[in-house]
C-alpha cells in the first residue's frame, strides 16, 4: 500500500475541466469569431434580460394591476395581542389610567418599529381584565369585543407615516424648533371611515359596537 502524502492527492476523474480558450487561432478550433458568430448584437456584448430587439417587451405590454407586497403604497401594521398588553399592565409598565396610544406601546417596548400604525388582535382575548382606553389604527372584531366587554373604549385614528414619526418622537421636532405638522386628512375613499376629529384635529372613529371596526378598511400588509 503506497504511503499517503500531499503529492499523492489528485482530483476525482472528471471533476476538473479545461478552460475554454477562444481567439487563439484556427488551429485551436475556436479562432476567428471566437464562437460568437458573424457580427450582430450577440457578438458585441451582453443583452439585457427582457430585451426583445427594440419592440415593447412583455413586462411593459402587460397592464399594471394591484400592488406588490413590498411595493409602493402598501400599508404595514404592527400587530399586538391583548394578552401581552394585559401582562404589561400587571407588571406596572402600562398605566391603566391614561389612554393606551401607539406612543405608549412604543415606549414600553411592545412595538419596536411602527411604520403605518398598530392593529390590535384578540389572541387569548379573555386574558384582558383591565378596562383600558385604546387609540390605535386598526383592530380586529375579537379585540374590540374584549375591550368593550371589560368596560374600556376603542378609538381608531388615521395617521400617515409623517404623523407616526411625529407621534413617536415629538420631542425631536420641539428640540429642533420645527413646526409640528398638522394631522393628515384621510384619502377621499377613506374619508367616510373617520367621521369626526378630536380636539387636535386627528381624524378618528369611536367604536361603540365590535362590528364597527369593519367599517374602517384599507388594503394592508400585516407583519
DSSP string covering 102-168: HHHHHHTTS-S--SS-EEEE-TTGGG--S--EEEESEE-HHHHHHHHHTT-EEEEE---HHHHHHHH
pTM exceeds 0.75: no
For position 87, what pLDDT does the model report? 94
pLDDT range class, residue 74, cuts 50, 70, 90 = confident
For position 217, what pLDDT does the model report? 65
Residue 145: partners with Cβ closer than 8 Å, 6 or more residues away: 122, 125, 210
Q: Which of 15-24, 32-41, 181-190, 214-223 has the lowest mean pLDDT?
A: 214-223
Residue with more model confidence, 53 or 133 = 133
Per-residue pLDDT averaged across 134-154, rounded?
95
In the numeric block, the cell 451582453 is attached to 46
For position 223, what pLDDT does the model report? 42
For position 162, what pLDDT does the model report? 94
Residue 32 DSSP symbol: T
What are the angstrom distances between the C-alpha of 222 and each of 119, 149, 208? 8, 25, 24
pLDDT range class, residue 145, cuts 50, 70, 90 = very high
For position 82, what pLDDT does the model report? 94
- Report the chain's mean pLDDT, rounded to a whole number: 88
For position 41, what pLDDT does the model report? 84
With 70 as the cut, is the pLDDT of residue 222 above it?
no
With 60 as the cut, is the pLDDT of residue 69 above it?
no
The three-point CA angle 99-100-101 to 5° equals 105
The share of the chain scoring above pLDDT 90, in percent, equals 62
Per-residue pLDDT averaged across 111-129, rounded?
89
The three-point CA angle 11-12-14 to 5° equals 110
For position 97, what pLDDT does the model report? 93
Cell of 20: 475554454
Could you give the CA distance from residue 214 to residue 146 in angstroms, rounded to a whole number?
A: 16
Per-residue pLDDT averaged across 51-74, rounded?
78
For position 60, what pLDDT does the model report? 92
For position 220, what pLDDT does the model report? 41
With 70 as the cut, is the pLDDT of residue 67 above it?
no
* 204 alpha-carbon distance from chain centroid: 23
For position 39, what pLDDT does the model report? 84
With 60 as the cut, is the pLDDT of residue 64 above it?
yes
With 80 as the cut, is the pLDDT of residue 6 above it?
yes
Amino acid at each position: 500500500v503506497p504511503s499517503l502524502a500531499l503529492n499523492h492527492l489528485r482530483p476525482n476523474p472528471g471533476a476538473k475541466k479545461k478552460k475554454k480558450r477562444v481567439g487563439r487561432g484556427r488551429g485551436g478550433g475556436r479562432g476567428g469569431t471566437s464562437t460568437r458568430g458573424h457580427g450582430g448584437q450577440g457578438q458585441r456584448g451582453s443583452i439585457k434580460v427582457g430585451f426583445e430587439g427594440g419592440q415593447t417587451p412583455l413586462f411593459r405590454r402587460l397592464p399594471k394591476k394591484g400592488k406588490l407586497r413590498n411595493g409602493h403604497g402598501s400599508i404595514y401594521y404592527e400587530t399586538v395581542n391583548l394578552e401581552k398588553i394585559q401582562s404589561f399592565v400587571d407588571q406596572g409598565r402600562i398605566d391603566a389610567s391614561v389612554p393606551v396610544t401607539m406612543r405608549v406601546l412604543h415606549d414600553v417596548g411592545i412595538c419596536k418599529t411602527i411604520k403605518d400604525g398598530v392593529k390590535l388582535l384578540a389572541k387569548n382575548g379573555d386574558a384582558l381584565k383591565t378596562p383600558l382606553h385604546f387609540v390605535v389604527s386598526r383592530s380586529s372584531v375579537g379585540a374590540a369585543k374584549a375591550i368593550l366587554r371589560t368596560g374600556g373604549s376603542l378609538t381608531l385614528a388615521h395617521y400617515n407615516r409623517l404623523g407616526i414619526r411625529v407621534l413617536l418622537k415629538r420631542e425631536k421636532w420641539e428640540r429642533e424648533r420645527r413646526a409640528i405638522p398638522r394631522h393628515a386628512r384621510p384619502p377621499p375613499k377613506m374619508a367616510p371611515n373617520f367621521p369626526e376629529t378630536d380636539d387636535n384635529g386627528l381624524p378618528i372613529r369611536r367604536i361603540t359596537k365590535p362590528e364597527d371596526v369593519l367599517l374602517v378598511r384599507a388594503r394592508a400588509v400585516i407583519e
